[in-house]
Structure 1
Amino acid sequence: MTTLEIWHARKQLHITFWPALPLSFFHACFYLARPFFDNGLPYAEMAGGHSSGFFAILIFEAILYAICLSFIILAMVYERGQLGYKQDSLCDPLTGVGNRRAFLEYGNELIRKRKNQAFPLQLILFDLDNFKRLNDQYGHAGGDSALVFFCNVVNSTLEKKDIFARIGGEEFACLTMKPKEQAILMAETIRFQLAQNSQHNIPMTVSVGMAFSKPDQDSISHLLIQADHALYRAKSAGKNRIELS
């Protein structure tokens, strides 16, 4: 039963669990084999008060199983703790989305996969408009609530495979494998939804710069530079708009 439970939960376990599988299975096999050697009787009920040699082996195996299982559990707990620290280092503590480090790490990994698999890759750069004004008037609490609100709007629009992160201040980036037209539509949906809301009676809008990956591009940094240039044009043209690189 332990083996089956671990096997069924393998997709939820983000740690190395495989040593526990053969160990629990091997332990179960000993007890399944016991009726063939000593009929599964307690020690005192064995003929002449003596147990079979298998019973001694069974006791030794049970002790060895407990010791090994303890070490495996400790290793799993340690690995889970390390995984937690890593996830914290890749997460923005305010908004709960990825940070710049996570975006670059996962983005470059996606670029490498793209070399072997042909799929579109678009980068969307967001910058909240008039954020300094909101921060000056309502303090950091007002600015923080605006950032969290924006992330909620974006997360309600993105798909699970899209990579979204806060890369600095009020600037956010998204990597999506949607085709160009669908990526533009997604960015426009986010821009429109945000424009329908406000924080502390200050209208919330966002300027957007988009860059589209080409087969010869092998760096997420290059896409960021292109999207940043497009974002600068969106800001210069009056904000609350989308510009393409």
Structure 2
Amino acid sequence: MSFDLPAIIFAAGLVFARLGAILMLMPGFGEPSIPVRIRLSFALLVCLTLGPILAPSMPPMPTAPLMLAGLIVGEVLIGLMIGGIARLLMSTAAIAGQVISMQSGLAMAQSFDPSQGTQGALLSTFLNLVFITLLFTTNTHHLLLQAGVNSYAMFPAGDFPSMADAANWALNAFIDTFRIAIQIAAPMIVFGLLFYFALGILSRLMPQLQIFFVAMPANIMFGLIIIIIALGAMAAVWLERMQRFAVELS
């Protein structure tokens, strides 16, 4: 039994080009807080495991170097597109946390957000950690890995996807990110409107009293209570959208 070593290396390189790009941005696997060597080792292990399964679906190795380079670049772009949309959905936590912080009076409470790689609202970091924990405890990360494998059925290797369809898909994910963020923050938005409306009335009745400073502890306390009550529903809304993203690639 003979093995075509160049063809095997070519197929393995194509698999790594797409799945490696997906895992570089995939929530839970591609977090900036994870060391680069660990992420690279995990990507190589996944590609080594899935390579023999995906190898039959790989196109034949082109003879021209430019065609080979174009094929690899196309696979990397497909992987970056899929991983980027998943990362975009993960940024829901940062947007919702910032809105909730503004409504609850905790906007000035800043901490380092590992998912964004910069300073962010404390509640954004909290929601990010909750969503990542939920991602693994519900085995949704299995769906994301399976989505990477199933992407070869939607985007066959060697066929560059339609830019119009890719742009429309990314636009819908971008819209869903903000829509879900507002849905998650909706209880605090309603509370903030009512609370500040009541404070506005009180400040007109008692203009000599600094009512906003007096009521700020109550704002924070009731805001945290609402977050505790609604946290389960917030997480369920985000998890449903992330699972639907994995199903879209199936």
Instruction: Provide the TM-score with structure 2 as the length reference.
Output: 0.24
Q: Which has the larger radius of gyration?
A: 1
Structure with bigger RCO (C-alpha 8 Å, 6+ apart) = 2
Q: Which has the higher helix share?
A: 2
Q: Which has the higher strand share?
A: 1
Instruction: Provide the TM-score with structure 1 as the length reference.
Output: 0.24
